[in-house]
Amino acid sequence: MRIIEVQDLEAIALGGAVYGTGGGGDPYLGKLLAQHAMRLHGPVTLIDVDSLDDDALVISVAGIGAPTVLLEKLPNLEQVLNSLAALESFLGRKATALMSAEVGGLNSTIPFCAASVRGLPLVDGDTMGRAFPEIQMTLCTLHGIAASPLALADEKGNAVMVDAVSNKYTERFVRSITMEMGGSALGAMYSMDGRQARQAVVRGSIGKALATGRAIFEARARHADPVQAALLATGGFLIHTGKVVDVQRGTDGGFSRGQARIVGLDGFDGEELSLLFQNEFLLARRGEQVLVSTPDLIVLLDLESGEPVTGELLRYGLRVAVLGIPCVSQWRSAAGLELVGPRYFGYDVDYVPVEQRHMSRDETVA
């Protein structure tokens, strides 16, 4: 258990942007909203999942929609609270703790808003260990925990409750309702008890985001290399360094989809990396050779500042380091890969863990 103060949100947002792997929405919007809430309503207690009672009611709150839209249409505090209240009213019971659905981006900090206003503890963990674009892409799904009943709230006061037969159906309904809500919405979902949370939650991921953010800030303060600091803090591999020379992006069906080309620099001269994304960065390859693929994390950091680059901020001329970070091991099971592996997203490649790909590359080079 630890107390998260307003000033800690800077590092959580920065670290959350790292684990957002390019998606999860702009972390700074979530941070501003959470800071606003915490200045008014006080700090948030981060608790370990093991401290939950078996019959606790844990609810995840999250922003949903295309990050490109979330940039234009800022979520507000009332929406966060409305979605939570709508779900509690449906369940006939109040939450005893809140959680992040995904540690990445906006959704690493949005839950702090509700936790502060409602005076509820926040579980130090999330359901993905990163960001993913679809509702069913959680370890909860692997453990048979339903995303629905799921409440969505827009900024006009509308609320919609989805009660679906599977998490994939929940995703379908949520996506079209979110489109009708103008492309973004706030949601409360994945209600579970303490026993379920202990099975399905990626433990300590909020604390890890905080530590990663702090490591980057400290490197900057010491005029050290923030990319190196991020590699150490995340346990990731440097797979490319280069300059963004081409970005193709569209917003389609509630997602930002596209690809970018990054021409090598600093030891990667002459090598070009292609990056494919659907909100999150999902596949990085050099020619036909895959360097990292979902569910492992692909992270772009600004070479100078170590600032994570999200998909919607990718632009010509950015000089970036590309990191590959191993995902949590549960994603590497057959069921995990079926849910979030490269083939689910339409990439006809086999998943190979990033550390294995990286080692074989070193062998080739040597």
Considering only 32, 36, 76, 169, the residue that binds a second copy (CB under 8 A) is: 169
C-beta of 254 vs 311, nearer to a second copy: 254
The least CB distance from residue 128 to a second copy, in Å, is: 24
Looking at residues 85 to 104 of the shown chain, list those that interact with a second copy (rule: CB under 8 A): 86, 90
Q: Measuring CA to CA, which residue among 167, 14, 165, 186 is closest to residue 85?
A: 186
- Which of these ranges, 14-22, 36-44, 166-174, 253-261, lies near a second copy under the rule CB under 8 A? 166-174
Q: What is the largest CA-CA distance in the chain?
A: 62
The least CB distance from residue 168 to a second copy, in Å, is: 11
DSSP secondary structure of 56-120: --EEEEEEEE-HHHHHHS---HHHHHHHHHHHHHHHTS--SEEEES-SSTHHHHHHHHHHHHHT-
Beta-bridge partners for 278: 257, 280
> Does residue 188 bind a second copy (CB under 8 A)?
no
The H-or-E segment that residue 188 falls in is strand 184-192
The least CB distance from residue 157 to a second copy, in Å, is: 4
The least CB distance from residue 88 to a second copy, in Å, is: 13
The least CB distance from residue 79 to a second copy, in Å, is: 13
b/e per residue 169-190 (b: at least 16 CB within 10 A): bbbebbbebbbebebbbbbbbb
d(CA 71, CA 73): 6
The least CB distance from residue 173 to a second copy, in Å, is: 6
Per-residue interface string for the shown chain with a second copy, residues 48-87, x marking contact by CB under 8 A: --------------------------------------x-
Residue found by looking up tokens 């970070």 in the block:
325
C-beta of 96 vs 158, nearer to a second copy: 158
C-beta of 159 vs 244, nearer to a second copy: 159
- Which of these ranges, 42-50, 66-74, 104-112, 158-166, lies near a second copy under the rule CB under 8 A? 158-166
Beta-bridge partners for 84: none
Q: Read off the tokens for 329.
A: 């091991």
d(CA 190, CA 193): 10
Binding site for a second copy (CB under 8 A): 86, 90, 156-165, 169, 172-173, 176-177, 179-180
